[in-house]
């Protein structure tokens, strides 16, 4: 699998990821969460909370719309908080540390492992595996990004678990987790697959409560 830190938001038409030379002190820009907004030539522009042109366009389009019929190239979803769990482990932790951290966070949830990757031929796919249940994968083709694959992995991971069970969903992409939570807060998902993830979370929350699906 390619290094996920190189596959966050993309500039339109660039074909590769780029990062600003300077970021705000104390932020984790490799996680795709808080880096400064910049223009295509990396000129600093007004910071509005989005990580790139690609994530800014759908949200800015919504601002010029009029009510529910306004201009938007994003997908509308029901607003609401989506919880995230901070595991007591990091990239340098050993396997037994990760296992302990996951067990401490699982509570009564089924643990679901998800991922997305790109093959040597440029084909993107998402995969998932739920403890005690089957695992599977879905191919998305050559036009998708690894970020898209990770979102599809999340969707499949939620759908495979029976609706009467809570889920602790694990992903190695902070950007994908942040996108799911932001879509829940703002009521807008920038892709159809992201919308489906939020909708799956909402359905489970209605039956099992606000912690029905937790991301980590």
Query: Above pLDDT 90, what percent of the chain?
Result: 52
Residue 6 has which token pair?
Answer: 């190189």
What confidence score (pLDDT) does residue 73 get?
A: 52
Paired strand residues for 138: 126
- Which spans in 22-73 are helix H? 53-63
Other CB atoms within 10 A of residue 177 CB: 22
pTM of the predicted model over 0.85: no
What distance in Å separates the CA atoms of residue 116 and residue 164, rounded to the nearest whole number? Answer: 26
> What is the Cα–Cα distance from 101 to 177, expressed in whole angstroms?
18
List of residues 6+ apart from 40 with CB closer than 8 A: 11, 53
Task: Average the pLDDT over 105-120 and give the result.
Answer: 93
User: How far is the C-alpha of 28 from the C-alpha of 208, rounded, in Å?
Assistant: 33
Name the pLDDT band for 26 (thresholds 50, 70, 90).
very low
CA–CA separation, 89 vs 96, rounded Å?
A: 10
In angstroms, rounded to a whole number, what is the distance separating the alpha carbons of residues 81 and 62?
20
Q: Lowest-pLDDT range, 22-31, 74-83, 176-185?
A: 22-31
**Residue 63: pLDDT above 70?**
no
- Predicted confidence band at 201 (pLDDT cuts at 50, 70, 90)? very high
Which domains, from first to last, does the chain contain? 77-215 (3.30.420.10)
């Amino acid at each position: 699998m390619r290094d996920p830190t190189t596959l966050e938001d993309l500039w339109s038409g660039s074909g590769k990821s780029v990062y600003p030379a300077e970021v705000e002190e104390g932020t984790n820009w490799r996680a795709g969460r808080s880096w400064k907004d910049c223009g295509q030539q990396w000129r600093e522009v007004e910071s509005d909370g989005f990580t790139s042109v690609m994530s800014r366009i759908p949200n800015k389009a919504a601002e010029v719309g009029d009510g529910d019929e306004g201009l938007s190239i994003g997908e509308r979803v029901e607003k609401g908080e989506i919880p995230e769990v901070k595991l007591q482990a990091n990239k340098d932790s050993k396997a037994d540390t990760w296992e302990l951290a996951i067990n401490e966070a699982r509570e009564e949830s089924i643990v679901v492992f998800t991922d997305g990757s790109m093959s040597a031929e440029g084909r993107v796919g998402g995969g998932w595996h739920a403890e005690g249940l089957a695992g599977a994968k879905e191919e998305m083709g050559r036009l998708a990004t690894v970020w898209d694959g990770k979102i599809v992995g999340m969707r499949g991971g939620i759908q495979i678990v029976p609706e009467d069970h809570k889920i602790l969903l694990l992903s190695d992409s902070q950007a994908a987790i942040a996108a799911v939570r932001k879509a829940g807060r703002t009521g807008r998902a920038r892709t159809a697959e992201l919308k489906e993830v939020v909708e799956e979370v909402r359905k489970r929350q209605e039956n099992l409560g606000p912690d029905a699906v937790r991301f980590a």
